[in-house]
Structure 1
Amino acid sequence: MSRTTAEWIGKSDDAMPPPRVRLRIFQRFDGKCQECGLPISGKRWICDHRIALINGGENRENNLGPIHETCDKTKTAADVAEKSKVYKKAAKNRGISLRKGPKIRSGGFQPAAAQRQASRPVDKWRGYSS
């Protein structure tokens, strides 16, 4: 009879799984990347959230899977794009305008008259000789 192991649940979204949990996750996926399906042996890997935290996923063991560091960059970009798309649709449904109208364009100020001299000589002592 096998012993059941309690599922690891992070205390916060920033909590990293301990090494024993990382090993269980690696073994559960048979050492294969959850994104591309290739073996991870000998390469650097990350415990990545299958459903991203920004998209409503939880920081718990059953939502984590091993992924190559290189695959993580493309998956993260896709997660952020999905979050942006969902956010825009939700805002539009609720009547919230995310974009402001076009930039205000005005006539601006009239151009200044051209200067003839940068400065004029001082005629302070006009008519007086020294």
Structure 2
Amino acid sequence: MARTVSEWIGKTDDHRAPPRVRQRIFDDCGGKCHICGVVIVGKKWALDHLTALINGGENRQSNLKPVHITCHAVKTAADVAEKAKVAKVRGKHIGAIRPKQSIKSAPKPEKPAPKPMPPRRSLFKEISAS
């Protein structure tokens, strides 16, 4: 019977998993890339965080899976794009990011044409010679 081993948890986000933990994770996943499902044989591989650290994931064994280097680059780019979108939406929501354009109001109605002036009356009465 195999002895149970406690889960590895990194001291910091930058702390790398030691070789014994990398081997344990690789064996638990059957040596397959968790993204494409192809067996990793004689190729370089990395450990990928299922939930990226920048998106709130933890640096622990249960959040790590083996992945090909090329698959890892694609997933990392997607994680960064997701983080940027979340940050932008949150910034707009809390008012930290102002809109690029001002909100346009409804067009003002046109003013009606002025009424024509009545004909001018003379100030003096004309006297007719009769």
TM-score range, shorter chain: 0.7 to 0.9
Name the CA shift for 1:98/1:3 in 2 (closer, same or farther; >3 Å): farther
Q: Tell me what 2:87 maps to.
A: 87
Alignment of structure 1 residues 28-107 onto 2, 5 Å: 28-97=28-97
The Cα offsets for residues 18-41 of structure 1, whole Å up to 9 and x where unpaired, read as 111000100111000011111101
Q: Which SS does the other structure have where 2:22 is aligned?
A: helix
Distance 2:96 2:67 in 1: 37
Q: Which SS does the other structure have where 2:4 is aligned?
A: coil
Larger radius of gyration: 2
Instruction: Percent identity, please.
Output: 58
- Amino acid in the other structure paired with 1:24: R
Q: Normalising by the residue count of structure 2, what TM-score does the alignment of the two structures yield? A: 0.73
The answer as to whether partners of 2:8 and 2:60 remain within 8 angstroms in 1 is: yes
The answer as to whether partners of 2:53 and 2:59 remain within 8 angstroms in 1 is: yes
Q: Tell me what 1:121 maps to.
A: none
Distance 1:41 1:73 in 2: 19
The answer as to whether partners of 2:34 and 2:65 remain within 8 angstroms in 1 is: yes
Distance 2:97 2:20 in 1: 47
What is the CA RMSD across the aligned residues, in angstroms?
Answer: 1.6
Distance 2:92 2:99 in 1: 11
- Amino acid in the other structure paired with 2:65: G
Q: Which SS does the other structure have where 1:24 is aligned?
A: helix
Gap runs ≥5 in structure 1 = 102-130
Question: After TM superposition, which residue ranges in structure 1, 4 or more long, deviate above 2 angstroms?
Answer: 98-101
Q: Normalising by the residue count of structure 1, what TM-score does the alignment of the two structures yield? A: 0.73
- Amino acid in the other structure paired with 1:11: K
Q: Does 1:3 align with 2:39?
A: no
Distance 2:98 2:56 in 1: 21
Q: Report how far residue 99 of structure 1 moved.
A: 6.1
71-80 or 88-97: bigger deviation: 88-97
Q: Which SS does the other structure have where 1:21 is aligned?
A: helix
- Amino acid in the other structure paired with 2:88: K
Gap runs ≥5 in structure 2 = 102-130
